[in-house]
Amino acid sequence: MKRLTIKAAGTLIRCRVLAMGEDLCVAVSGGDREHIGAVALGQPGPSLRDPDAISATVSVLAVTGHKEDELARDVALDMAAALNVRVCVSCGIHVDQAESGDIREIVEAVGSLIREMIRTLQAGTG
């Protein structure tokens, strides 16, 4: 299992990746109460714009009242396309009394964390 962490808006965000054969199971969680707020399944395939490039399609399920659906979708899309594997992402980050600036900071931090995880997986390190 690969693990990376980052701090954003005063809270710790974790990314854990478990290989399941060639597929990946990814958990992005953190904050005051880790949970499952949304899950996304990314499936790689040839890009419609450029058949020589890999893109991905994503299906998302969200728990009613939770806002992690877009974050889970973005993580699944980025990882499936970059790594050319199926990716199942579970995302749940809760910060009590989070303000819009905190949420922006967390979303940006998750993006950085996922880019670093992709580099780590591509390099076979970590």
Beta strands in the chain (DSSP E): 2-8, 11-20, 23-31, 38-46, 54-62, 87-94
Cα–Cα distance, 2 to 66 (Å, whole number): 26
23-31, strands of its sheet edge to edge: 2-8, 11-20, 23-31, 87-94, 38-46, 54-62
pLDDT of residue 52: 86
Strand partners, 55: 45
Which domains does the chain carry? 2-123 (3.30.230)
Report residue 90 as tokens: 């579970």
Neighbouring CB atoms inside 10 A of 124's CB total 6
Q: Is the distance from CB of 26 to CB of 71 less than 8 angstroms?
A: no
Single pTM value for the model? 0.93
pLDDT tens profile 95-123: 999 899 999 999 999 999 999 999 999 99
Q: Which residues of the chain have pLDDT under 50?
A: none
pLDDT of residue 48: 85
